[in-house]
Structure formats: structure tokens, C-alpha cells
Structure 1
Amino acid sequence: MSETALNPASTFLHMAAPPDPELVADGFILSLFLLLGVLFAVAPLVACYLLSPRSRNPHIGAIYECGMVAFGQATSSRFGVFYYVYALIFIVFEVDVLYLFPIARIYRQGVGLAGFMEVVIFCVILFMAIIYAWKKGVWIWEREALSLR
């Protein structure tokens, strides 16, 4: 009998190919990027916890807007969400418009009529979202809600 028939584990040891050095290097780089990503996400949280003051100031919970101390009725009221609505709408449409840049880059390679129709449908849906927000009154700035009477 041969040695492999007596010891079946030795056949698997001889069959394993050495790892590809380029693949190992790519895996190392990927794991390094993942580690750095987690480190950049966790480091500010840990630094904030370690470096923040522990004393409790009575003005910590005070209402303020843009770094200005509140006065009058603003000390007991809340601010409207109009600023945040505009910010969210800006972010949504900004991200949608950013999709058009890669499309414009690839469009020069000749995407044909199907690619053109996809871009037109995307722009129509984006325009319909703007019309919907307009009809719902999102673009109307209500000064009465923001006044400090």
C-alpha cells in the first residue's frame, strides 16, 4: 500500500496550493482600511468622553440658536423646524443631482436611446418631487412662526 492510502490527511496537505501573494496583499490593505474606518468612527467618541468637562452648568440645557443667547419668549419656546426641512430637502436633491455626474461621464461612451430615456425618467421623477414639495407648501417660509413676539 502507498503512504497516501494509509494516511488520508496527507493527501489534503499536498493538494493545498500556496496563497497568492497579490491576494494576500489585497486582503491586508482591505483589512487595514476597515480598521482605520472603525478607528476614525470610534476615536472622536472616545476623545469626547475623555476630554469633556464633568461639571454641570445650569446653562447647559438653555435654548439657543446660532450661538446667540435666547431672550424674551424664546427662553420658554421651541424653534420651528423650517431650517431643518430646508436642510433635508437640500441634501435629498443634492444627492439626486450627484447621480447625474457619473451618468454624464458615461454618456460620452454612447449609451444609446435606452440610456437617454433612463436619464429623462430620472429627471422627470426628480422634477415631480420638486412639484410635490411645492404643492405641499414646503417652500413657503412662515415668518409668523419664527417671530419672537
Structure 2
Amino acid sequence: MLDDYFLQYGLILIFSVIAFLIPAGMLILSWLFSFVRMRPHKPDPVKSSLYECGMTPIGEGRWTQFGFRYYVYALLFVVFDVETVFIYPWAIRFNQLGLFALIEMLVFVLVLVLGLAYAWRKRALEWE
């Protein structure tokens, strides 16, 4: 039984190492290929200008103001997107899981709805 326990965690360790090595390898390869000139280097002011939907850019593009009001909606989207990720597998296996899983999912959704109602009541969703 102990061997099976270590085998399962060994597989998780191997998966974690591979999950770290693949992106690290891609970054290292990208850095190494930056030293190999595969195309001619011809700087041009048009190439370094900002691209704005085919139109000539107006003003400086580096210091634009970000609308902070979108932040709350982005967070709400992420919360309910994660909710969907958790509800989908539950919905697929609903018949096999039984009553306890139904109650557990109802509590999960209730917590999210209460959070949304709290944000609504505190007027966090209003556009100011």
C-alpha cells in the first residue's frame, strides 16, 4: 500500500517537473534563437510605430489610462467562469453522485450568489 502511495505522488512529481521544464525549455530556446539572425535586420520608423487598426496613431500609446471600472467586471467574470468549470463535471455525473453532491453544489452556488448579492448591495456593480 505504501508503494502505491509513493507511486501516485511520484507521478505527480514527474508531471510537475515536466510542466516546469516545457515552458522553461521554450523560453531558453527562444533566447538562444535570438542570437541567430534568420532575417536581415533593417530598422525602419514605420516598423517601430504603433499599429492602431490601420489608422495613424494619435498621441503617445505608451501611457494610456486604463478604465479601473472594468476591473470589477473582470473579477466577476473570472469567478463565474470558475464556477462553470466546477459545475460542468458535476452536471455530467449528476445521476451517479447522489443527493450529497446535489446539496454540496447548491451550497457552492448559494455562496457565489450571496457574494454577488453583497456586491450588488454595496453598489460595486454600478458604473460611476
Q: TM-score, normalised by structure 2?
A: 0.55
1:109 corresponds in structure 2 to 96
Query: Per the alignment, do residues 51 and 131 of structure 1 end up closer, same or farther by CA in structure 2, a change over 3 Å counting?
Result: farther
Distance in 1 (CA, whole Å) between partners of 2:67 and 2:83 is: 26
1:79 aligns with 2:73: no
Structure 1 position 37, deviation (Å): 1.4
Which amino acid letter does the alignment assign opposite residue 129 of structure 1? Answer: G
Which amino acid letter does the alignment assign opposite residue 107 of structure 1? Answer: F
Structure 1 position 108, deviation (Å): 0.3
Distance in 2 (CA, whole Å) between partners of 1:101 and 1:43 is: 33
Cα RMSD after superposing both structures: 3.8
Query: Per the alignment, do residues 99 and 45 of structure 1 end up closer, same or farther by CA in structure 2, a change over 3 Å counting?
Result: same
Instruction: Report which of the two structures shows the higher radius of gyration computed on alpha carbons.
Output: 1
Instruction: Find the residue that maps to 2:113 and give its secondary structure.
Output: helix
> Aligned match of 1:124 in 107, 110, 113?
110
> Aligned match of 1:99 in 86, 97, 102?
86
How many residues matched?
107
Q: 5+ residue gaps in structure 2?
A: 36-49
2:39 corresponds in structure 1 to none
Instruction: Find the residue that maps to 1:99 and give its secondary structure.
Output: helix
Instruction: Find the residue that maps to 2:96 and give its secondary structure.
Output: coil
Distance in 2 (CA, whole Å) between partners of 1:70 and 1:47 is: 34
Which amino acid letter does the alignment assign opposite residue 39 of structure 1? Answer: L
Structural mapping, 1:1-149, within 5 Å: 30=11, 33-47=15-29, 49-50=31-32, 68=52, 71=58, 78-109=65-96, 111-112=98-99, 114-142=100-128
Structure 1 position 76, deviation (Å): 5.7
Query: Per the alignment, do residues 45 and 137 of structure 1 end up closer, same or farther by CA in structure 2, a change over 3 Å counting?
Result: farther
The sequence identity of aligned pairs, in percent, is: 30
Structure 1 position 80, deviation (Å): 2.3
Distance in 2 (CA, whole Å) between partners of 1:136 and 1:48 is: 47
Deviations 1:82-121, CA, capped at 9 Å, x for gaps: 3333222211211122211222233201512x33322221
